[in-house]
A and B are shown apart, each in its own frame.
Chain A
Amino acid sequence: MEVTKDISSAREKSSWSRRLREQFAQVPLLGWLFGLLVAVVMEYLVGYPLARVLGLASVPALFGFEIIFRIPTLIPSTLLYILLVYVLPTGLVAWLGSSLANKLAARLLRYPLLISVVIHLGLLYAVLHLWGSFNDYRMIVLKLTLIAIMLTLSLNVVNGYMGEFSCSHPGFMALGAYAASVFTVLAFVHDDVFGLPLLPPALGPFMFPIALILGGLVAALGAVLVAIPSFRTRGDYLAIISLAFTFIVKSFIENLEVVGGPRGFMNQPPWANLPTVFVWTVLCVAVIHNFVRSTLGKALCAVRDDETAAEAMTVNTRRTKMVAFLFAAFWAGVAGGLFAHVMRYVNPGTFGVLKLSEVLAMVYLGGLNSVVGSIIGAVSLQLLMEALRPLEILKWIAIAVLLILIMIFRPTGLVAFTEMDVKSLLKPKWKAVEEVQHAVTAD
């Protein structure tokens, strides 16, 4: 008895960090979202005055990275700003409101799951919107990050779930970007090349989804061209053919004077606002998540692990591979269309090897075969690339070193081969409390 008491008291004393972690383990996702919302509202209200008090020229645009690298003397005040504006409010609200948030989350789960999902997404959108509307730079980083999620996820379907190595994503993206742009400019914009709009511009925003879907379909058509010669074999062939495809698309557009050739193509209407990009990203994540969790989607993993066995178990492997490839290309095309309308300018040079390595790095950093992994990979690498922008050319060395380190310590990526379970993500975290208490009493 005495001994166990000693142990438990030692455990109690052990470390406040563990207790802190236990406290925060009880915070459901809803609580974190509330915390973040409070944090961004705080920044909205007191961001400027606080920055001035701390001696910063302006509010740190991207968590202070742009300041830290340029003016090292401002590091302490930047960190203080981050702490006061983001970390403390989020942490405090999440901690203090955890029981309330748990009750709410539990109540929400009594209704169909969709309602809970929509509310969580609504909160997330509110956070992103408030954070992003602070200045244009944040907004564009945010949109590009969302687009990067779509690209990474769709490439993960081919390179992760299907186990082929495809390099054609920039090509698909270019096809989608140009197809959607030509459609919107031709139909709704008074342009020097294409002349007067064919349709009343008022219709435009409603037709934007059609433009994006058209971009996706054109990209899928391109995917057919890659798939037909390369899917009869396995291994490196797809990699080579798809890489060639990317270059072919790039030089094809470079030589297409109608869309400006190498000078690029502009005048896209400004319809890719944050809600649009957000909704399309959510749609992409939801559809891909649904697909890879269905038995039809699992067939992809079977094809990757052992095609002969899959075929012997009634799986139509040729159709499975084709569908997955076209599906991935479709989403890459949609992402390309959004990209073109976010930047309101595209040129073929964007869709080259650099883009390819970027997307590949996001996929392999985040982890193969995982929807969460792709989201984490895309967000972290996109933000990192923005954060390291002040390092200029050194940025590419830093990112490469980081990738090498990850390949050494986590060869499969950050979160590989994990399926996202929406229900357990949204559920209240009472259980963590009970488990801890249970463990303590059991001791």
Chain B
Amino acid sequence: MPLLRIENLTHYFGGLRAVHNYQVTIEPGQVRGLIGPNGAGKTTIFNLITGMYRPTEGEILFNGTDLVGLRPHQIASLGIGRTFQNLRLWRHMTVLDHVKLAHYSRIHYGLMGAFLGTARRHREEREIEEKSFALLEMMGIAHLADQVVTNLPYGVQRKVEIARALAVEPKLLLLDEPTAGMNPEEMLETMGVIRRIRDELGLTIFLIEHRMKVVMDLCEVIQTLDFGEVIAEGTPDEIRSNPKVIEAYLGKEVIT
């Protein structure tokens, strides 16, 4: 059974058709790429999957469960973690608190535990903290655990976002332009991190990216989106040589 299957997904913003008849099938363990020019509807698709928007039409099946109509936190609890194109960190909170909080749906001590500080709460908090530290170490930012995120450099903030998304304990990880705004060095590092996530945690990854190097190196299958519609789908090599893609995305001049 595919991990994620989307059928006939259509979404309108008022009269504007942002996504039209979008389909995708992602098998477990795959790294999928989604590319397309600005405004093609890539982020909208992520927002539809995670329940930020409710689709006008269509079906989103995750592990056999229909996600349409569920609230974002319910969808996330089912096992979908995501990062955002423009960082969406909690600016007054520390790195450790970011990762700890993403374990929210795994907390069972309840309000009374929170109010009274029961033994159970301390035990659960300690467990969450250990798990969070493990994730931070994997990202190589464990030494920054006590820092408030706004004081940290951009590359580190990106890593915090990925660590936070992983703390949801997802089966599917949606990365929205994970290398945006990074210098080449940081970009290579992030690519390494994504590979490690796939290999060590065995996650399925769905990735939006503008940088061709990143998409071509990481993804097994790539979809190209233009004006909300899929214009091409295939392996990196197929996409690279597809004239439609080159015209829509890379521009005509490039081939001449």
Contacts and interface: CB of A to CB of B under 8 A. Distances in A.
Name the interface size band of chain A. Answer: 20 to 34
Nearest to B121: A294
Interface string B81-109: 11010001111110001001111110101
B115 A313 contact: no
Contacts of B97: 295, 298, 301
Interface stretch (B9-17, B71-79, B137-145, B184-192): B71-79
B115 A291 contact: yes
Contacts of A295: 97, 100-101, 103-104, 107, 125, 128
Nearest to B148: A417
Nearest to B165: A313
A287 to B, nearest CB: 5
Task: Indicate the member of B50, B92, B93 with the most A CB atoms within 10 Å.
Answer: B92
Contacts of A369: 92
A287 B102 CA distance: 23
Given A290-B114, A295-B128, A308-B88, A302 B73 contact: no
A288 B165 CA distance: 29
B115 A315 contact: no
A317 B90 CA distance: 14
B125 A308 contact: no
A352 interface: no
Interface string A305-316: 110111111111
Nearest to A311: B72
Nearest to A294: B114
Contacts of A316: 71, 73, 104
B116 interface: yes
Contacts of A308: 52, 72, 88
A297 interface: yes
A305 B90 contact: yes
A314 B92 contact: no
B88 A309 contact: yes
A314 B114 contact: no
Contacts of B113: 294
Nearest to A163: B92
Contacts of B125: 294-295
A308 B115 CA distance: 26
B159 interface: no
A290 B101 contact: no
A313 B104 contact: yes
Nearest to A319: B73
A299 interface: yes
A297 B104 CA distance: 10
Contact of A309 (B90, B107, B114, B117): B90
A310 B168 contact: no
A369 B93 CA distance: 11
B7 to A, nearest CB: 23
Contacts of A310: 90, 101
A406 interface: no
Contacts of A291: 114-115
Interface string A266-300: 00000000000000000000010011001111110
Contacts of B104: 295-296, 299, 313-316
A141 B172 CA distance: 59
Task: Indicate the member of B77, B111, B165, B168 with the most A CB atoms within 10 Å.
Answer: B111
Interface of A: 287, 290-291, 294-299, 301-302, 304-306, 308-317, 323, 369, 417
10 contacts: A294-B109, A295-B104, A296-B107, A309-B84, A310-B90, A313-B102, A313-B168, A316-B73, A317-B73, A417-B92
Closest 10 A/B residue pairs (Cβ): A305-B90, A314-B105, A309-B88, A294-B114, A311-B72, A313-B102, A314-B76, A296-B114, A290-B117, A314-B77
Given A294-B125, A311-B76, 5 more contacts: A297-B114, A298-B93, A306-B89, A316-B73, A317-B73
